[in-house]
Chains A and B, each alone.
Chain A
Amino acid sequence: MKYSPTATLARIISRWTQMGKKYGIEWWILVAGALIIMGVILMAILANLIAPYNPHDQNTGPQLAPPSQDHFMGTDNLQRDVFSRIMFGARTILGVAILAAIISSIVGIAIGLISGYAGGGFDKILSLVMDSIYSFPGLILAIAFAAMLEPGIISITFAVAVIYIPTYFRLVRGQTLTIKEELYVEAARAVGAPGITILAKYIFPNVIATTAVVFTMNVGDAIMIEAALTYLGLGLPPSVVDWGMDLAMGKKFLPSGQWWLITFPGAMISLLAVGFTMLGEGLAEILNPRLLEH
């Protein structure tokens, strides 16, 4: 069969509609979320090629110019092009949020598995510590970390990652407690499988599906936390192009009416967070319809 882009597209669309009929609105929420995320990821990857100006270039046109043909999103007080900064800024926020979610999921899943499987006093103490961190406002904890560390990509990633570890811990520990009572785990133990094998081969694969949903939602949340930290002037040096920092800078020009400086960076943060949350919601409904009904 000859390859035809239209036929492929038609096939994809008909497949999507079928899924839509099967799962209802949740499927379309998922698709919309995925499309938003893909759009922003593409923007970040292709920033070099598409962006009309260098994000640091301080000579792209007049100062504080409103959106026009030359400057789709206007210029800032240092004559930089806002649109180009949005494109490059996508790299920072996506990178930090996704990396932070990866770090916290790895750490949280690992200690959740071990704690749930080992049980006893170790498990009790660790659970208490994790519950305490979980109950504390995440942003304030992240502010404390970011304030104590030297500004930089690694510091801010660390500050954001720390606050999500308890989320994974609690989820994975709870499931481990249930799964370790299952017959197949007992059978593995009976034939003398070491703890590490049981955790890796029998328990871990069973907890990974639910963590996928939480991971997606986490990235959405991490995006807002990252932007909040940089909006507050914490976590990143001024040389990095970042939406939150641009928003904080635009705030100074709000009273004089330069609306484009706050509208576009903020709208992008919201859009990206909405994308991940919608993907997470859709996934949760489709993978486990009972999760959100209750």
Chain B
Amino acid sequence: MNNLLRYIIGRTLLTIPMIFILLSIIFVVVRVMPGDPVSSMLGGHAPEKVIEQKKEELGLNKPMILQYGNYLLQICRLDLGNSMIFKQRVIDAIREKLPATIELTFFGMLITLLVGVPLGAFAADKRRSAQDYSIRLFGIVIYCIPVYWLGLMLQMIFGIWLDLFPIAGRTGARVFVAGFDWSGLYVLDTIVAKDFTAFKDVIIHLVLPSVTLGLVLSGIFIRLTRANMLDVLKSDYILAAEARGIRHRRVVYKHALLNAFVPILTMMGLQVAILMAGAVLTETTFSWPGMGRLLLERIYLRDYPTIQGVIVVFALIVALVSLVVDIIYALVDPRVRY
């Protein structure tokens, strides 16, 4: 246990420089690079005096190093500043949109696992057969299909032509009743509120976006599962299990797959970056009111504090997830701790 604790502390300390570097990069991109937020916000025709006043207000005329210091201090206090366009704190805007993104990515990941892991395991079992090659080809192709285009095609087929699923938003206007946004995760909220009409509505709105996101990521998981399964299937205990006369299917899908699953779990953490990029695009395609949409809407409005805030939150999530995954890995696999 002592070792585990030491590992967790060490790993957490390592996250700090990573977050610091990411925050600095974001600062450089948003503040230091050419382009003047104030004049572009005011439309470029504003009088000099107004521009200066606005800059003063936002602290943009201070020396760069002071601005940088303030920026880091603000983030340490979890204060992401105020929107330049709306009378709203950036953190409030994010708090409102983050649950939508979490819900989408959670169900997307679920679909990925449900599609990717069984297909990858099956391909490994039938190695170098026609099934193996077709699954691998499917993996390559699905990975190369831009997530936004897959979304549009699914919208067209299942939303417009077959009219099975809604193509935009998180809920239909009719069933949406204010008051069930306890956590902002609508699936959870509707269950807590025992409102099953709303629950059904929320679920059918989730189908197309999460299938879109999940399918694109499943390509990676097919490959990962297949590669890990191939390693595991070569090991002695699999041979031993086969020799004891346990049915082949049971050996592959129980003994082998369970053992191949640990590395797959850690890979899930590494995919979080791809998952988030995919979520940004999926949200745009499906008018899903999450962080990605917030980021883009504010980019069009040139609301720099919000843009910066959203990217900072993305960075924090990436750092946090990789930390959590490493800790889980250490818990599951004792070799990591030593």
**Is the CB–CB distance between B322 and A262 below 8 Å?**
no
**Is the CB–CB distance between A144 and B26 below 8 Å?**
yes
Task: Tell whether A90 is near chain B: CB-to-CB under 8 Å.
Answer: no
Interface residues of B in 184-230 (CB under 8 A from A): 227, 230
Q: Please pick, from A129, A263, A267, the residue contacting B21 in the complex, using a CB distance under 8 A.
A: A129
Q: What 0/1 pattern do residues 82 to 126 of B give for CB contact below 8 A with A?
A: 000000000000000000000000000000000000000000000
Interface residues of B in 123-164 (CB under 8 A from A): 133, 140-141, 143-146, 148-149, 152-153, 155-156, 160
Task: Tell whether B171 is near chain A: CB-to-CB under 8 Å.
Answer: no
Interface residues of A in 258-288 (CB under 8 A from B): 259, 262-263, 266-267, 269-270, 273-274, 277-278, 281
User: Cα distance A256–B134 when bound, in Å?
Assistant: 35
CB distance from B176 to the nearest CB of A (A): 21
Task: Tell whether A205 is near chain B: CB-to-CB under 8 Å.
Answer: no
User: Cα distance A139–B318 when bound, in Å?
Assistant: 14
**Is the CB–CB distance between B152 and A247 below 8 Å?**
yes
**Is the CB–CB distance between A137 and B274 below 8 Å?**
yes
Task: Tell whether A194 is near chain B: CB-to-CB under 8 Å.
Answer: no
Task: Tell whether B315 is near chain A: CB-to-CB under 8 Å.
Answer: yes
Q: Please pick, from B35, B133, B160, B315, the residue contacting A255 in the complex, using a CB distance under 8 A.
A: B160
Given known A129-B21, A148-B30, A274-B140, contact A231–B148 (CB-CB < 8 A): yes
Interface of B is mostly: helix
Which of A133, A148, A247, A267 gathers most chain B CB within 10 Å?
A148
**Is the CB–CB distance between B152 and A273 below 8 Å?**
no
Interface range, B side: 35 or more
Task: Tell whether B79 is near chain A: CB-to-CB under 8 Å.
Answer: no
Given known A136-B315, A257-B160, contact A234–B299 (CB-CB < 8 A): yes
Q: What 0/1 pattern do residues 10 to 28 of B give for CB contact below 8 A with A?
A: 0000000110011001100
Q: Count A-B contacts at CB 8 Å.
A: 132
**Is the CB–CB distance between A139 and B146 below 8 Å?**
no
User: Cα distance A148–B27 when bound, in Å?
Assistant: 12
CB distance from B157 to the nearest CB of A (A): 9
Determine the chain A residues whose CB is within 8 A of the CB of B167 once the complex forms.
254-255
Task: Tell whether A227 is near chain B: CB-to-CB under 8 Å.
Answer: yes
**Is the CB–CB distance between B149 and A269 below 8 Å?**
yes
**Is the CB–CB distance between A128 and B160 below 8 Å?**
no
Task: Tell whether B338 is near chain A: CB-to-CB under 8 Å.
Answer: no
Interface residues of B in 305-329 (CB under 8 A from A): 307, 311, 314-315, 318-319, 322
Known: A128-B18, A224-B144, A267-B149. 12 other contacts (CB 8 A): A133-B21, A135-B18, A136-B25, A141-B29, A143-B299, A145-B33, A224-B146, A254-B167, A255-B160, A262-B149, A292-B227, A293-B227
Chain B interfacial positions (CB closer than 8 Å to A): 17-18, 21-22, 25-26, 29-30, 33-35, 133, 140-141, 143-146, 148-149, 152-153, 155-156, 160, 167, 227, 230-231, 273-274, 276-277, 280-281, 284-285, 295-296, 299-300, 307, 311, 314-315, 318-319, 322
Chain A interfacial positions (CB closer than 8 Å to B): 25, 128-129, 131-133, 135-141, 143-145, 147-150, 220, 224, 227-228, 231-234, 247, 250-251, 254-255, 257, 259, 262-263, 266-267, 269-270, 273-274, 277-278, 281, 292-294
